[in-house]
């Protein structure tokens, strides 16, 4: 394994940790601390997200991934938000969101 592969595996790990904490929040609630935990599920999601951002920044600073312009980043984020909201409406119509 080279350094690029190592950092990419860290990226995958952070994504998985976010998913794990989101799953726990869905099962036990955002405010649940869980036994022996120092953070509640909401805090854990936020900290894992910051870890993900840090690894992404490392990948960008090393030239492994390309940086997007602030305009492109803003447009991509806005498009994703609109898509999520659009599918919330679809789910409501299907009865899967009450």
Helix, strand or coil, per DSSP, at residue 38? coil
20 and 55 fall within a common domain: yes
17 and 49 fall within a common domain: yes
Q: How far are the Cα atoms of 12, 22, 44, 49 from residue 39, in angstroms, in the given order?
A: 22, 13, 6, 14
31 and 72 fall within a common domain: no
3 and 16 fall within a common domain: yes
Residue 49, both tokens: 């997200």
- Is 24:41 a contact under the CB 8 Å cutoff? yes
53 and 75 fall within a common domain: no
Convert the pLDDT of each residue in 14-64 to its tens digit: 999 999 999 999 999 999 998 888 999 999 999 999 999 999 999 999 999
Task: Tell me what pLDDT residue 35 has.
Answer: 87
57 and 10 fall within a common domain: yes
CA distance 20 to 14: 10
Domain ranges, residue 8:
1-67
């Amino acid at each position: 394994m080279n350094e690029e592969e190592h950092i990419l595996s860290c990226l995958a790990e952070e994504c998985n940790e976010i998913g794990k904490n989101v799953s726990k929040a869905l099962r036990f609630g955002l405010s649940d601390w869980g036994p022996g935990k120092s953070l509640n599920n909401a805090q854990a999601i936020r900290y894992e997200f910051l870890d993900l951002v840090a690894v992404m920044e490392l990948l960008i600073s090393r030239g492994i991934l390309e940086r997007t312009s602030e305009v492109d980043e803003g447009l991509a984020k806005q498009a994703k938000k609109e898509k999520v909201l659009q599918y919330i409406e679809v789910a409501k119509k299907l009865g899967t969101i009450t």
